[in-house]
Chain A
């Protein structure tokens, strides 16, 4: 796998849409393509958080308690942002529900680069915040349990 391949995969991923060329170059230097087998655990709550995944294909389940999946993350989406906000610990479990093709970002190295290049850090944090906001809104809707039969 060449850096060019990784860079091309990054450029094609919605998370990276509109990123400056230099930022793509930086990310490509700290990313690699992965194929994750169905059933593989990507991380578990309590473990050290040191990576993100940009999902290209397949489905990852996020579970808060044992195996109960509360949301799936799919193609075009970001999985994991704890290291970006300075939380070096996962707060959920993530498991590949199908074979997953993803770009793995090295959080340790990228956190260093973000400190050295605040504009890169801002851009990545802004995108991660957008993903987190979407997750929050969906969680609220899920918590509302809209399909529960009321007044029955």
Chain B
């Protein structure tokens, strides 16, 4: 990694509109390849406007192609999503603790993604597929508000067509054209028929969703130290110096964003933490 304080300029190579408010950018990192682990994030700098932490959503085997999926929700992300191929973003990173994909080798692995949470989990899923022989069952359970809000729908279809993976998608609401399950994503976890003794769960989505995913996993007998969540906070320095992302005794940028439920589960019961 370069100097963690200095953004490296990278040119947007492609832009894909995922949903009405979410865009995936591929940045040209060929001059400074970004070797990241699934679950890590970078700081993206829109010159003149500010910086924001965004999880990498690309393939960890392709460090020259840095991919991010960004929802236009704030003062920095909104103008970033308006950029076009040829425009330049500053990039710092990668930062943070990754998903425990190495520790999960030999286990069944369930990824539970809700909404934009599919983006930080996508590198982990691509890692599982690229190293399929190292894992038992691999399941991807995806929840979205509506079918139109699903990220990477074409890829979901392709992954679902494989014979060595299990991919399930549910939405909270849909019109009559939707033929899949309707209901919350935790329902998919209930139906998955998991062996708690050999299963690891990694989940990313709204905090209330992750809380209920963890609760369902615990109910099925999966130990808390085999449940991982990815947290989002206001990250600024990204290296555990400034304290903006402090969460309990942790800095999310340095000690997370991926945490074991055994470490952080109790915090989910405390309002305002």
Chain A interface residues (CB < 8 Å from chain B) = 59, 61, 67-72, 74-76, 97-98, 134, 138, 141-142, 144-149, 151-152
Closest to A67 in B: B176
Pairs A–B under 8 Å by Cβ, sample size 6: A68-B173, A134-B190, A142-B184, A147-B143, A148-B145, A151-B74
B191 within 8 A of A: yes
B144, B187, B190, B212: which contacts A147 (Cβ < 8 A)?
A: B144
B181 within 8 A of A: yes
Closest to B22 in A: A149
Closest to B210 in A: A146
Measured between alpha carbons, how far is A147 from B184 in the docked complex, in Å?
Answer: 10
- Contact in complex: A138, B184 (CB < 8 Å): yes
Measured between alpha carbons, how far is A142 from B208 in the docked complex, in Å?
Answer: 11
B179 within 8 A of A: yes
- Contact in complex: B145, A71 (CB < 8 Å): no
- Contact in complex: A138, B205 (CB < 8 Å): no
**4 additional A-B residue pairs with CB within 8 Å, beyond A59-B181, A72-B183:** A68-B175, A70-B182, A70-B183, A72-B182
B42 → chain A, closest Cβ, in Å?
Answer: 22
Closest to B208 in A: A146
Measured between alpha carbons, how far is A97 from B180 in the docked complex, in Å?
Answer: 9
Chain B interface residues (CB < 8 Å from chain A) = 21, 71-74, 114-115, 143-145, 149, 172-176, 179, 181-184, 186-187, 190-191, 205-206, 208-209, 212
Q: Which residues on the B side are within 8 Å of A74 (C-beta)?
A: 181, 191
Measured between alpha carbons, how far is A52 from B209 in the docked complex, in Å?
Answer: 30
- Contact in complex: B183, A142 (CB < 8 Å): yes
Q: Which residues on the B side are within 8 Å of A72 (C-beta)?
A: 181-183
Q: Which residues on the B side are within 8 Å of A98 (C-beta)?
A: 179
Q: Which residues on the B side are within 8 Å of A145 (C-beta)?
A: 145, 172
- Contact in complex: A69, B182 (CB < 8 Å): yes
B150 → chain A, closest Cβ, in Å?
Answer: 11
Measured between alpha carbons, how far is A120 from B154 in the docked complex, in Å?
Answer: 49
B19 → chain A, closest Cβ, in Å?
Answer: 10
Measured between alpha carbons, how far is A98 from B181 in the docked complex, in Å?
Answer: 11
- Contact in complex: B181, A141 (CB < 8 Å): no
